[in-house]
Amino acid sequence: MMNDIRLRQDILDELEYEPSIDAANIGVAVENGIVTLTGHVASFAEKHAAERIAERMTGIRAIAQEIEVRLPEHKKTADDEIASRVLKILAWGAAISDLRDIHVRVEKGFVTLSGTVEWHFQRSAAMNSVRELSGVTGIDNQLKIRPRMDVSDIRHGIREALRRNAEIEADNIDVNVSGSHVTLRGKVQSLRERVMAERAAWSAPGVTAVEDHLTIEDAQGRLGP
């Protein structure tokens, strides 16, 4: 399809334009608005940046991330050293003052985070901070948010957050709350709108899980995952 060809070229151009990415070994395929990224990069940060570039392009319905991280020899770091750096960056960059409930495991540069934090922003900050560390090849963020049962109206807070965002058609999104678990259903116009709706749900105090059943409906009325 012509739209797919144009979208593929737009992504390739944006990857080339981004100075933090060496796009020489990144491949892009597009079919019916579904983007597949392949190839290899020299850091996990580059892999993430490539995905973010594809995600923000108009017309994207879904992304398959198949880029491999191949660290240059001079950037490979011992797992115990990476683990030590992770703990330090969590205390500093992720604003987690008490690390007693945080567990870090590193195997061949792949970092697994587990344990509990108080807020979703800490969970996200932990991921963002560790992603930038040298020697990291991947991250599995298993950090959970400690439930806050004193929250009385999570649904109202999320609905208001959706309405305040000009890029979200709030009336097309249904918010269901069971305890601290939020389920989103309905239709959005783009992957970006879907991501922003998820962020609005996660930003509500007390939310420990968000289940996204939103579908993407493009200009032709086609539904995506």
> Structural domains in the chain?
2-69 (3.30.1340.30), 73-145 (3.30.1340), 154-224 (3.30.1340.30)
Question: Which residues of the chain form beta strands (DSSP E)?
Answer: 26-31, 34-41, 62-65, 68-69, 102-107, 110-117, 138-141, 144-145, 173-178, 181-188, 209-217, 223-224
From 148, 172, 175, 177, select the one nearest 159 (Cα to Cα): 175
**Phi-psi category of residue 221: left, alpha or beta, with phi > 0 → left and psi -120 to 50 → alpha:** left
| Whole-number pLDDT of residue 148 | 64
From 65, 6, 16, select the one nearest 39 (Cα to Cα): 65
Q: Rounded CA gap, 56 and 173, in Å? A: 20
pTM for the structure as a whole: 0.60
**Helix, strand, or coil (residue 60):** coil
| Whole-number pLDDT of residue 189 | 87
Q: Which amino acid is at 90?
A: L
> What are the pLDDT digits (tens) for 27-76?
999 999 899 999 999 899 999 999 999 988 888 889 999 999 988 887 78
Q: CB-based contacts of 101: which residues, under 8 Å, 6+ apart?
A: 115, 116, 117
- Give the pLDDT band of residue 118 (cuts 50, 70, 90): confident
> What are the pLDDT digits (tens) for 130-176?
988 989 999 999 998 877 654 557 888 888 889 898 778 888 999 99
